[in-house]
Amino acid sequence: GIQVEQSPPDLILQEGANSTLRCNFSDSVNNLQWFHQNPWGQLINLFYIPSGTKQNGRLSATTVATERYSLLYISSSQTTDSGVYFCAVEDPSGTYKYIFGTGTRLKVLA
């Protein structure tokens, strides 16, 4: 089945710093989402981005579907950005389920 790898696995930032999270996937996909799982476990939708670039405030994302990767940019990080960031891709077998990456655990220090 499709493999989804995220890097780095762990990241510690000082408040105000910028970062780039990467998601590589091993097969062509039709849909891709980025999520933030907060310390209470809630998965929050950040971007639905099967291709192209989107921005939402301090966050932006780019998916290059032909090269099988997606990037999530966090600028001017805040302590509330802490948590785990997941990339998820729709299983190309056509069953609509999402396959999640291993996650990037981010800690932002004040």
Partner 1 sequence: GAGVSQSPRYKVAKRGQDVALRCDPISGHVSLFWYQQALGQGPEFLTYFQNEAQLDKSGLPSDRFFAERPEGSVSTLKIQRTQQEDSAVYLCASSLDLAIITYNEQFFGPGTRLTVL
Q: Kindly state whether residue 107 participates in binding partner 1, applying the rule CB under 8 A.
A: no
Q: Name which position in 46, 101, 106, 108 contacts partner 1 (CB under 8 A).
A: 101
Q: Name which position in 70, 72, 90, 106 contacts partner 1 (CB under 8 A).
A: 90
Would you say 21 or 88 has its CB closer to partner 1?
A: 88
Would you say 35 or 77 has its CB closer to partner 1?
A: 35
Distance between CA atoms of 36 and 85, rounded to whole angstroms?
5
Distance between CA atoms of 90 and 18, rounded to whole angstroms?
28
Taking CA atoms, 67 is separated from 2, 27, 79, 92, in Å, by: 14, 9, 32, 15
31 to 70: interface string for partner 1, x by CB under 8 A: x-x-x----xxxx-x--x----------------------
Helix (H) or strand (E) holding 2: none
Give the interface with partner 1 as residue ranges (CB under 8 A): 30-31, 33, 35, 40-43, 45, 48, 86, 88, 90-91, 95-103
